[in-house]
Amino acid sequence: MSERLLVLVRHGQSEWNLKNLFTGWRDPDLTEKGVDEAKTAGQRLKALGLTFDRGFTSVLSRAEKTMNLMLDELGQQNLPVSRDAALNERHYGDLCGLNKDDARKKWGEEQVHLWRRSYDVQPPGGESLKDTVARVLPYYNQEILPAVLRGERTLVSAHGNSLRALVMVLDRLTPETIPSMELATGVPLVYRLKADSTVESKKVLDA
């Protein structure tokens, strides 16, 4: 019986995570801590004896670099990796590049909280979490899930919000519960799926 393995990893800390900026589709690099987080993620996967047949990332360098650092640790530098903007972080529109504290001063705590943590309220010029889900899920259903169900052990390196879209489906969360769910940087979520694509088991590889 082939193994239906799906591992999701949010990229390591980026320079803009560190500076508390809205990042979205902007493309800052990983910090030193982010590099260490990505390497540690690879080491934790290796410690479990996991290897992979397929990889998927967004087209943003922080996710790509996290993938490459994990594969270095796994000794799988030649793994076939598909890149697609469907896995990009949520687009924060006019908020991109702004400090979150400055945004609160400009628009108020309540409004910024609504933009960040509601399911379907869009920031000006940007995407809501609902919009991000609508972008990510078709790609998951057409590209990632079929690979997993074929028995291809699959590693995905992406972003807090694009991965929340997948976790929402896998963990059967609702529009009410998903906005409050946080994904730590560089912490692998190891899923094993049943033949009907529902979750058989989930393991969080944190410290």
Q: Could you give the residue numbers annotated as active site? A: 11, 89
For tokens 């033949």, name the residue.
Answer: 195
Encoded tokens for 133: 């889900």
Pair 60, 25: CB distance under 8 Å: yes
Burial of 37 (0-12, 13-18, 19+ CB in 10 A): buried
As beta bridge partners, residue 14 has 30
Beta bridge partners, 57, equal 83, 157
Longest dimension (CA), the chain: 56
Q: Nearest CA to 133 among 168, 98, 160?
A: 168
Q: Tell me the CB-side half-sphere exposure of residue 150, using CA atoms within 13 A.
A: 12
